[in-house]
Amino acid sequence: MGSFKHFIHAFLGGFALIHLVDAQDQSGFISIACGSPANSNYSEPTTGINYISDAAFIDTGISQQISAVYKGGFQQQVWNLRSFPQGIRNCYNISITQGTKYLIRGTFLYGNYDGQSKLPQFDIHLGVNMWDTVNIMNVTIPVFKELIHAPSLTNLQVCLVNTGLGMPFISAIELRPLNNNTYVANFGSLGLFARLDVGSSISYR
Ligand SMILES: *[C@@H]1O[C@H](CO)[C@@H](O)[C@H](O)[C@H]1NC(C)=O
Ligand SMILES: *[C@@H]1O[C@H](CO)[C@@H](O)[C@H](O)[C@H]1NC(C)=O
Ligand SMILES: *[C@@H]1O[C@H](CO)[C@@H](O)[C@H](O)[C@H]1NC(C)=O
Ligand SMILES: *[C@@H]1O[C@H](CO)[C@@H](O)[C@H](O)[C@H]1NC(C)=O
C-alpha cells in the first residue's frame, strides 16, 4: 500500500478509535507489546490502549525492532518484536481470569527487523494445540491470527514453533474478555490495520 493510503487509514481510523477508547474501560484487557523493553509500558497514541512489555511472560528469545523506514505506517505495538533463534518451541505463559472467554490475537509484522529480507513461516500453538501457521508473505503486511478461547486454567501458553522454514517471531499478543458486548465492539475497532487484511479478520458480533 502507498504511504498516502496508510495515512488515510491512520487518519480515519485514529479518529474513530480515539472516540471509542475515550469511553472504553480496558479492565480485563491484556495487551502485550512483544520485544519492548522489560518493565516498560505505554499508551498507544492512536488507540489509547495500554501496552506492556512481554519480558514478564517469557524467558527466551531476543528483542528486535522493525526497520525504521517502516515504523511510521504502523501502531507502536508492532515496532518491536521478539524473535526466537534458539529452540523448536518457545512459549509465553500468561495469567488469565479462569472461566472468562477471550478473543486472542497474535500480530506478526516482519518489517525486515534482521536486515535479511527473508520471510519466515512457522506455527503458533495455544498450549499443546495447533493454532495456525503464520506465513509471512510481505515485509510490510502484518499477519493477524485470532481465536476465541475459554481457558480452563489460570495460565495460557502461546507458543512459537520453528518448522524449519525460518525464524519464528511475534509482534504483539492481545487478549480481550468477551463477556461484555462493549469489549467485543472495542476490540474490533482496535485493528487499525486489520481491515487491510480481511482474510484474517473475524466478525466481532
Ligand atoms: C509488499 O506489499 C507492498 C504494499 O502492498 C507492495 O508495494 C510490495 O510490492 C509487496 N512486496 C512484495 C514482494 O510482494
Ligand atoms: C507502567 O510503568 C510505570 C513506570 O513507568 C509503573 O509505575 C506502572 O506500574 C507500569 N504499569 C504497568 C501496568 O505495568
Ligand atoms: C506459568 O506460570 C505459572 C505461574 O504464574 C506457573 O505456575 C506455571 O507452572 C507456568 N506454566 C508453564 C508451562 O511454565
Ligand atoms: C459492560 O460494560 C459496560 C460499559 O463498560 C458496563 O457499564 C456494564 O456494567 C458491563 N456489563 C457487564 C455484564 O459486565
pLDDT in tens, 88-104: 999 999 999 887 888 89
Closest ligand to Cα 5: 1
Establish whether residue 43 lines the binding site of ligand 4, counting it when its CB lies within 6 angstroms of any ligand atom. Answer: no
CA neighbor of 33 nearest in space, from 81, 87, 89: 81
Q: How confident is the model over 140-172, as pLDDT tens digits? A: 999 999 988 888 889 999 999 999 999 999 999
Q: Is 59 in the pocket of ligand 4 (CB under 6 A)?
A: no
pLDDT of residue 24: 61
Instruction: Note the pTM of the prediction, 2 decimals.
Output: 0.78
Q: Which of 13-17, 42-46, 106-110, 147-151 has the lowest mean pLDDT?
A: 13-17
Query: Does residue 139 or residue 178 have the better pLDDT?
Result: 139
For 14-31, write each residue's pLDDT tens digit. Answer: 444 444 454 467 888 999
With a 6 Å cutoff on the Cβ, whether 41 touches ligand 2 is yes
Instruction: Please name which ligand lies nearest the alpha carbon of 196.
Output: 1
Nearest CA to ligand 4 atom 3: 182
Beta strands in 27-126 (DSSP E): 30-33, 41-43, 50-53, 62-65, 80-83, 89-95, 102-108, 121-126
Whether ligand 3 lies within 6 angstroms of the CB of 155 is answered as: yes
Q: With a cut of 60, say whether residue 11 has pLDDT above it.
A: no
110/55 Cα distance (integer angstroms): 19
Average pLDDT on 63-71 reads 96
Query: Ligand 3 within 6 A of 154 CB?
Result: no
Closest residue by Cα to residue 122 from 86, 168, 155: 168
Q: Give the residue, 98 or 11, on which the prediction is more confident.
A: 98
**Which domains can be identified in the chain, with CATH numbers?**
2-180 (2.60.120.430)
pLDDT reported for residue 97: 86
Q: Residues of the chain with pLDDT > 90: what percent? A: 61
For ligand 4, is residue 182 a contact (CB within 6 Å)?
yes
User: Of the candidates 127, 101, 123, which has an alpha carbon nearest to the alpha carbon of residue 170?
Assistant: 123
Q: What is the pLDDT of residue 183?
A: 46
User: What is the average per-residue pLDDT within 196-204?
Assistant: 32
Distance CA 84, CA 171 (A): 12
Instruction: Give the DSSP letter of residue 45.
Output: T
Provide the H-helix boundaries in the chain: 3-22, 68-71, 181-190
Among the listed residues 126, 135, 142, the one whose alpha carbon sits nearest the alpha carbon of residue 165 = 135
98 lines ligand 2 (CB under 6 A): no
Residues 80, 110 contacting (CB under 8 angstroms): no
pLDDT at 199 over 90: no
Pocket mutation for ligand 4, best pick of 25, 180, 186 (most atoms within 8 Å of C-beta): 180
CA of 37 to the centre of ligand 2 (A): 12
- Three-state secondary-structure class, residue 38: coil
Closest CA to 73 of 16, 25, 111: 111
Taking each helix axis as running N to C, give the angle between helix 181-190 and helix 3-22, from 0 to 180 degrees, rounded to the nearest 10.
Answer: 160
Q: Which of 99, 117, 106, 109 is nearest to 76 (CA)?
A: 109
| Cβ(180) – ligand 4 distance below 6 Å | yes
